[in-house]
Structure 1
Amino acid sequence: MNKRLAVAFTGPSNSGKTTLILKVARKLIHDHKLEVAIIKHDPKDKARFDVEGKDSYKFSDTGAEVIVTSPSRTTYFSQKHAELDEMIRLFNKFDILLVEGLKNLPLPRISVFRNSIDKEYFPYMNALAVDESVMLNDYEIPSNVSVLDLNSIDEIISWIFENAKTV
Structure 2
Amino acid sequence: MSHPDNTLPRIGFAAWSGSGKTTLLKRLIPELRNRGLRPAVIKHAHHEFDVDKPGKDSYELRHSGANQTLVASSRRFALMVETPEIEEGATPDLDALCAKLDPARSDLILVEGFKNADLPRIEVYRKANDKPPLYPDTPGVVAVATDAGGLPFHGPVLPLDDPSPMADFIIEHLSLYPLLNG
Normalising by the smaller structure, the TM-score range is: 0.7 to 0.9
Deviations 1:93-138 (A, max 9, x none): 310111111111111111112124423443322211111xx3x44x
- Please list every run of 5 or more consecutive structure 2 residues that lacks an aligned counterpart in the other structure: 87-91, 177-182
- 1:105 maps onto 2:117 in alignment: yes
Match of 2:98 among 70, 88, 99: 88
**Percent identical across equivalent pairs?**
30
Pairs within 5 Å for 1:12-91 = 12-29=16-33, 31-45=34-48, 47-61=49-63, 62=65, 64-80=67-83, 82-91=92-101
Aligned length: 158
Larger helix fraction of residues:
1
Kindly tell me: are residues 48 and 151 of structure 1, through their superposed partners in 2, closer, same or farther at Cα, counting changes over 3 Å? same
Q: 2: CA distance between counterparts of 1:165 and 1:44?
A: 34
Q: 2: CA distance between counterparts of 1:60 and 1:38?
A: 24
Instruction: Indicate if the aligned counterparts of 1:6 and 1:165 stay in contact, CA closer than 8 A.
Output: no
Match of 1:157 among 162, 167, 171: 167
- Please list every run of 5 or more consecutive structure 1 residues that lacks an aligned counterpart in the other structure: none
CA RMSD between the two structures: 2.3
Q: What's the TM-score once normalised by structure 1's chain length?
A: 0.82
Match of 2:137 among 114, 117, 123: 123
Instruction: Indicate if the aligned counterparts of 2:12 and 2:112 stay in contact, CA closer than 8 A.
Output: yes
Q: 2: CA distance between counterparts of 1:79 and 1:123?
A: 33
Kindly tell me: are residues 69 and 159 of structure 1, through their superposed partners in 2, closer, same or farther at Cα, counting changes over 3 Å? same
Q: What's the TM-score once normalised by structure 2's chain length?
A: 0.76
Kindly tell me: are residues 63 and 118 of structure 1, through their superposed partners in 2, closer, same or farther at Cα, counting changes over 3 Å? farther
Q: 1: CA distance between counterparts of 2:132 and 2:173?
A: 23
Instruction: Indicate if the aligned counterparts of 1:108 and 1:165 stay in contact, CA closer than 8 A.
Output: no
